[in-house]
Structure 1
Amino acid sequence: MLSLFLSKRLRESKNHSGLFGFLSKASTIGVFLGVTVLIVALSVINGFEHQLKERLLSVVPHVSYQAPYDPIENWPAKVKLLEAQVGVISAAPEINLTAMIQHKGKLKAAQLKAIEPNKHQHVSSIGQYIKPFNLSQLSSEEILLGREIAEQLHVKEGDKVTILIANQHAKNALAAPKRVSFKVAGFISMGGEVDRNLAIVSLAKVQKALSLTENTVTGLRLAVDDVFNAHQIAMSAGRALPDLVYVQSWFRTQGSLYQDIQMVRTIVYLVVFLIIAVASFNIISSMVMEVKEKQADIAILKTMGTQDKTIFMTFAVQGLSYAMVGALFGLILGTAVALSITDLFSFWISLDGANPLQGIYFIEFLPSKLAIADIAIVLGATLIISVLSSVYPAWQATKIEPARVLGGG
C-alpha cells in the first residue's frame, strides 16, 4: 500500500514537466497506439480468416477428383463409396468445363459447372448466394450466371443464352464445340472470382452434349469435416476410387490466400510489438530521469527506514502505470473500432465511391472478428514488456546512497 501511495504522489508531482513529462506521455501514447492498432489489425485478419472458412470454403470444393482421360462411370456408386470414407461428410457428381457464353453477339468465357442440384446442396453453400432462385429447383433447361457475367453480357432473368462447349473427352480433338441453349433462371451474387467466372447448369443437358450417359460424369466433389486437413482426407478417400483421377484440394486453389492471411498476421504481431517495445524504451528513459530527479526524496525515504523493496515497488508500479494507462485506453478504442470497422468501411466507400477490395479479394467488404484470445495476448505481452522495462530504473532507485546524496558528496 505504501508503494502505491508513493507512486501516486510521484505522478501528481509538480515537477512532472519538461522533457521528463514529454517522455512519460510519449511512452503512454506509444503503448496506446500500439494496442489499438494491434487489436484492430488482428480483428480484421480474424475476419478475413473467418470469411475464408465460412464463405469461400463453403462454395469452392474442399476436395475434387477430376478424370483426365476416361470419364467416371456409375457416379451414384462412387458417391456412396466416397461418403463411407473417414472424414468425408458428403459427395456429389459434377462436370467442370471452360465454356463460352454467348448473348446477342457478345461472348464471355466462364467456368461451367454441371451439377446434380439435390446432391450439390450437401457439398456447397452456393445456393445462399443465388437470387432470386432456389438451387434445388434448377431444371435441365436453366442456367445460373455470376452477377458480373450477366452485367457484361447485359443479360436479364428469363433471357436465353447459348453455351459453346468443347468436349475434352472427344476422340477427334478438332471437333467443333457443341452449342447448347439455356434460359437464365437466376444470378450468383457472392463477390470476387465466383461472380466473374461461374455459371451453373444441371447435368442432364451437358451430359447429352458431351455424349455421356446419365450415370457418367467427369468429376466428383467432397465436403469434409476438417477443411484444414482436406489434403490428407483427399488422398486417403481417393484410394477407394477405382478410376484414374487428378486429386485436388482447396489448398491448391485457395491455399496461397490462407497462407497470405497467416503471414500478414505474423507481420502485424511483429511490427506492432516493436511499436510497443519502442514505447517501453521511452518508459525506461523517463523512469531513469525520474529516479535521477527524485534522488533527494529517495534518500530521505531511506533515512526514514523505508526498505529497498518498497522503493523498488514504488518505481516499478510507476513505470507499469504508464503502460497500463495506455493499454487500457488502447483496449477501449481498439475494441470500439474493431466492432464497427465494417460499417465505417462501408460509410467510407459510400463517400468515395470506389471500393479497394472490389475485384481483388473474395469479399467486397472489410470483415472483423474480435477474439478474446487476441486481446489477452496483446494485454499480456504489453504487461510483460512494461514490467521488464520498469525493472532497471526501479533497481537503480534502490542503489541510491543517502549519505552521498544528502551529504553533497
Structure 2
Amino acid sequence: MLSLFLSKRFSQSRQKGFASILNKASTIGVLLGVSVLIVALSVINGFEEQLEKRLLSVVSHVTYDAPYEPINDWKSKVNILEQQQGVLAAVPEINVTGMVQFKGKLKAAQIKGVDIHSHEGVSSVGEFIKDVSIKSLAQNEVILGAQIAESLNLSIGHNFTLLIANKNAKSMLSAPKRIKVTLVGLVKMGGPIDQSMALINLESLQTSLSLKPDQVTSLRVKVTDVFEAHNIAMSAGRSLPDLVYVNSWFRTQGSLYQDIQMVRTIVFLVVILIIAVASFNIVSSMVMEVKDKQSDIAILKTMGAKDSTIFSTFAFKGVGNALLGSLVGSALGVVISLYLPELFVWFYGEGTQNPLSGVYFVEFLPSKLIWTDIAITLGVTLLLALLASIYPAWQATKTDPAKVLGNG
C-alpha cells in the first residue's frame, strides 16, 4: 500500500530541531502511560483476587443473627439452609463482643463460638492458624488473633480470661461473665482479622451463656458466588421460620470492595488522560513535520497522488508512533507486573518497614495480569492517536503544489 510505504519512508528520514524532540516525547509519553496503566490495573486486580481468596474465605459470606431469643434446634435450620439454591454449606455459631483480659490488660475481641466439626466447611481460617487445628479445639481453649496476643504479651499455653456481657442480668451495671481459658493457637493472617478474632469451642460458650446444646445465636452460610451473597442471603433467609437479622459480607467488608472498584475507575481515567496528553503531542510534532515535508507533499501531488493517499500517509505515521510506544510500554508493563510482588519484597523486606504489614489483609503487593485490560489499553491509546493524527493529516492535504514549488 502506497500510504504505508510513504509513511515508512517519512519515518526513516531524520527530523531536525524541535520537531524531533516533540516526536520522541510523544512516543515516550505514550510508552510510560501505557506501562503505568497496565501495572496499576494489575495491582488492583491482584487486590481484588486476594480479597476473594484470603479475606472472603475467612469472613462470613452470610450470617443470620437472632435479635432477641436464641435460635432453637439449629441442626434442622442448617439442613433447611443447605437445601437452598446458591448455598454451599451452613454452620451454627455464637457471636459476641467481649474483652480479653491478661495481667490487668484488656483488649476488645469478636468472640466466635464455632462447631469444631463443621466450621472448616465455611471458613479457611485454619490455613492461617499456627500450632493447632480447629478440630482439636477442646473445652475452654481459645485461638486468638496474633495482634491481640502480641499487644497483651500472651504466648501459647498462657491462661487468661474472656469477659462477656451478661445479657440475663437485671441491671446494666452487673458484672460481666468471666470465662477462664487457655491460649492454644494464633491466627496470623494480617490486617483487621488478627486484631479482633477469638475462636472458642461452641459448647464452651453455650455453657457460659446458659444456652441449651441445640441453641445458638447465629447461623453462618457459605455461598457459591461471593459477589451475589446479598441476593442469595435474602432468598435463602425466607426459608427460615425464625426472626433473624440478615447480614452479608457487603455490610462488613463491602466498603473495601467498593474502594477497590473506585480506585480502578480513578486510576483508569487519570492515566488515560495522561496518555491522551501524550497522544495529542503527536499533533504538534506532526504539524511541524507537515511543514517540513511540504515540498515532498507538493511533488507527490504533482505526480498524481490523491488527497486520501496524503491523508493516510500522515495518519499512519501518527498512529505508528503511538503503536511503537504502546507495544514497548505494554511489554514493560507486563514484565514489571509479573515480578512486582518479588520487587516489593526485595525493596521493603518482611520487617516493620513493610507499609502493608498489619494494615491490610495482605502483607505483600499482589499483581494479576488480565489480558483484556491490556487489549483495552492498547485500543484506547491507538484510538486517541488516530484522533490526534486527523488534523495534521488533513492539513497536509491542503498543501498547494503551485505555491510551494513556485516559492522554491
Instruction: Please give the TM-score of this superposition, normalised by the length of structure 2.
Output: 0.96
Tell me the equivalent position of 1:11.
11
Aligned match of 2:207: 208
Partner residue, 2:270: 271
Aligned to 2:356: 357
Give 1:171 deviation, angstroms. Answer: 5.3
C-alpha RMSD over aligned residues = 1.7
CA gap of 1:80–1:351, structure 2 versus 1, over 3 A, is: closer
1:92-107 counterparts in 2 under 5 A?
92-107=91-106
Partner of 1:225: 224
User: Any idea what the Cα deviations from partners look like across 1:61-106, whole Å, max 9, x if unmatched?
Assistant: 1111111211111111111111111211111111111111122332
Q: Which residue pairs with 1:90 in the alignment? A: 89
Q: Which amino acid aligns with 2:391?
A: Y
User: Does the CA-based 8 Å contact 1:69-1:169 persist in structure 2?
Assistant: no
Q: 1:111-135 deviations in whole A, cap 9, x for unaligned? A: 1111002221111111111112222
State the distance in 1 between where 2:170 and 2:365 align.
49
Rounded to whole Å, the distance in 2 between the matches of 1:156 and 1:352 is 21
Classify the secondary structure of the residue corresponding to 1:121.
helix
Question: Which residue identity lines up with residue 10 of structure 1 in the other structure?
Answer: F
The match for 2:235 is 236
2:47 aligns with: 48
Query: What is the CA-CA distance between 1:17 and the residue it aligns to?
Result: 2.2
Give me the whole-angstrom Cα distance separating, in 1, the residues matched to 2:350 and 2:198.
33
How far apart are residue 399 of structure 1 and its match?
A: 2.2
Q: Secondary structure at the match of 1:77?
A: helix
Which residue matches 2:341? Answer: 342
* Runs of 5+ unmatched residues, structure 1: none
Q: In 1, distance between residues paired with 2:260 and 2:170?
A: 44
DSSP 3-state at the match of 2:63 = strand
Q: CA deviation at 1:281?
A: 1.3
Asked whether the 8 Å contact 2:94–2:216 carries over to 1, the reply is: yes
- Cα deviation, 1:295-344, whole Å, max 9, x if unaligned, reads 11110111122233322222111111111111111111111111111111
* Distance apart, 1:170 and its partner CA: 4.8
Report the equivalent of 1:261: 260
- Structure 2: segments with no counterpart, 5+ residues: none
Say if 2:190 and 2:359, in contact at 8 Å, map to a contact too: no
Instruction: Write the distance in 2 (CA, Å) between the matches of 1:171 and 1:91.
Output: 34
Please name the residue that 2:154 is paired with: 155
Q: Deviations over 1:138-193 (max 9, x none)?
A: 22232101111111122222222221122335555443222212222111011101
Residues 101, 107 of structure 1: 8 Å contact kept: yes
Distance 1:352 1:113 in 2: 30
The answer to whether the Cα contact below 8 Å between 1:32 and 1:327 also exists between their aligned partners in 2 is: yes
Aligned residue identity for 1:237: A
Preserved CA contact (<8 Å) 2:142 2:181? yes
Residue type at the aligned position of 1:161: F
The 2-side partners of 1:70 and 1:54 are apart by 34
One-letter amino acid matched to 1:333: L
Q: Secondary structure at the match of 2:139?
A: coil
Alpha-carbon shift at residue 388 of structure 1 (Å): 1.6
Residue in 2 that maps onto 1:404: 403
Q: How far 1:9 moved relative to its partner? A: 2.1
Q: Is the 8 Å Cα contact of residues 279 and 381 (structure 2) preserved in structure 1?
A: no
Q: CA deviation at 1:353?
A: 4.7
The letter of the residue matching 1:207 is: Q
In the alignment, which residue of structure 2 is the partner of 1:32? 31
Question: The residue matched to 2:97 in structure 1 has which SS?
Answer: strand
**Offset of residue 244 of structure 1:** 1.7
* Cα distance in 1, alignment partners of residues 216 and 274 from structure 2: 56
Cα gap change, 1:343 to 1:383, in 2 (>3 Å): same
Conserved in 2, the CA contact under 8 Å of 1:42 and 1:265? yes
Query: Structure 1 residues 356 and 89, CA, compared in 2 at 3 Å: closer, same or farther?
Result: same
Q: Partners in 1 of 2:101 and 2:252 — Cα distance? A: 27
CA distance in 1, matches of 2:314, 2:351: 50
The CA deviation at 1:233 is 1.4
In 1, the alpha carbon distance for the partners of 2:11 and 2:269 equals 31
Hey, what does 2:110 align to over in structure 1? 111
Distance 1:183 1:338, change over 3 A: same
Contact 2:280/2:385 (8 A) holds in 1: no
Query: 1:360-371 to 2 correspondence within 5 Å?
Result: 360-371=359-370
Partners of 1:360 and 1:70 lie apart in 2 by: 36
Percent identical pairs in the alignment equals 60
Contact 2:100 2:106 in 1 (8 A): yes
Higher deviation after alignment, 51-60 or 307-316 = 307-316
User: Does the 8 A contact of 2:163 with 2:178 survive in 1?
Assistant: yes
Matched residue SS, 1:95? strand
Q: Tell me how far 1:362 sits from its aligned partner.
A: 2.0
The residue number in structure 2 matching 1:385 is 384
